[in-house]
């Protein structure tokens, strides 16, 4: 995902989802929860155009589902 957080410690950081305001942990690594999601290109582009940080798992899953059903993000 797109993220401007510095993760030099290798541990997750608590961030706020820019879409819904929920707090979640982002580790910006292959072990992060988002690495388990298959994110369509159009969702990646949507997120990169709008946000400088990651979105939470709920919002990401909703965007992926909308893209899969043909709905716009």
Q: Where are the domains of the chain?
A: 14-69
The reported pTM is: 0.76
pLDDT of residue 23: 96
72, pLDDT greater than 80? no
Per-residue H/E/C for the chain: CCCCCCCCCCCCEEEECCCCCCEEEECCCCCCHHHHCCCCHHHHHHHHHHCCCCCCHHHHHHHHHHHHHCCCC
* Distance, CA of 12 to chain centre: 14
pLDDT of residue 64: 96
Confidence of residue 27 (pLDDT cuts 50, 70, 90): confident
Calculate the CA dihedral of residues 33, 12, 28, 42 and round it to 10 degrees. 50
pLDDT tens for residues 28-44?
Answer: 888 888 999 999 999 99
């Amino acid at each position: 995902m797109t993220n401007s957080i510095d993760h030099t410690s290798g541990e997750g950081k608590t961030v706020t989802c820019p879409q819904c305001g929920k707090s979640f942990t982002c580790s910006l690594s292959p072990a992060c929860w988002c690495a388990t999601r298959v994110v369509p290109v159009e969702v990646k582009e949507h997120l990169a155009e709008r946000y400088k940080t990651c979105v939470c798992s709920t919002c990401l899953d909703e965007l992926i589902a909308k893209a899969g059903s043909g709905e716009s993000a």
